[in-house]
Amino acid sequence: MVKKTSWLKQDSIEGLIPHAKEMAEYILKKRFKLVLVGGVSAQTAAYMVKAVLKEKGVPIEAMPTFLTLGRANLKQRMPERTGGVYLTPKDIANFLRKKYPHQIKNTNQKLFILEESIESGYAMTKLKKAVKLLGFKKVKTGALTVNPDKKLFLRINFVGAYYRTLTCLWGRRRDALSERKLNKLRETRTRIRKAVKKP
């Protein structure tokens, strides 16, 4: 049965958890071996999905490998290579080759590109081009929320909910993390773990 996509009820960690659970189920059902996580804000979405998988008791051997891009800000439109930021598809591909040489060696593996939200489609387009450069062909895409105007244009395979401007996962940028930001990150992850445990 095809999931009917609805609008996000609440722009919050708790509001996203049901869709993170759906995404985790999708990843398991489709048996993805690799999950490529988008930029900085997508890492919290990935943490949600991993928390769900852990709560479900998924064995380590069945867990996909999550590939992260560090503190890359994929939404920037101008090439910028300072502070560990990789922005062009070629930069992203080269970064993955250096950081995950063994994990991405087999390009016949199923790969899922995970984003927290898709509004313009700019970052997802860049990620799709990067994995194509690496030689991956079995690629699917998904996000917890998607601007409905972009769904058909980008051919997104998994959509948690429709929403145009998600804000609850934003706030961390590529500058050095201050103690205040670290505390905020810890607080967010604590909220995620608590929310995941709720039925």
In a domain, 42, yes or no: yes
Q: How far apart are CA 131 and CA 92, in angstroms?
A: 9
In a domain, 180, yes or no: yes
In this predicted structure, what is the pLDDT of residue 175? Answer: 41
In a domain, 8, yes or no: no
In this predicted structure, what is the pLDDT of residue 181? Answer: 64
How far out from the chain centre does Cα 9 lie?
A: 20
- Cα–Cα nearest to 142, from 161, 153, 120, 158: 158
In this predicted structure, what is the pLDDT of residue 138? Answer: 97
> Edge-to-edge strand order for the sheet containing 111-118?
65-67, 34-37, 111-118, 139-146, 158-162
In this predicted structure, what is the pLDDT of residue 41? Answer: 76
In this predicted structure, what is the pLDDT of residue 80? Answer: 47
In this predicted structure, what is the pLDDT of residue 85? Answer: 53
Place of tokens 């064995």: 59
In a domain, 140, yes or no: yes
In this predicted structure, what is the pLDDT of residue 75? Answer: 57
In a domain, 2, yes or no: no
Q: How many domains in the chain? A: 1
In a domain, 127, yes or no: yes
Domain of residue 112, residue span:
13-197
In this predicted structure, what is the pLDDT of residue 1? Answer: 42
pLDDT along the chain (199 residues), means of 10: 77 93 96 91 91 92 91 56 63 92 97 92 90 97 88 81 83 48 77 87
In a domain, 57, yes or no: yes
In a domain, 49, yes or no: yes
In this predicted structure, what is the pLDDT of residue 84? Answer: 47
Domain of 99, CATH number, reads 3.40.50.2020
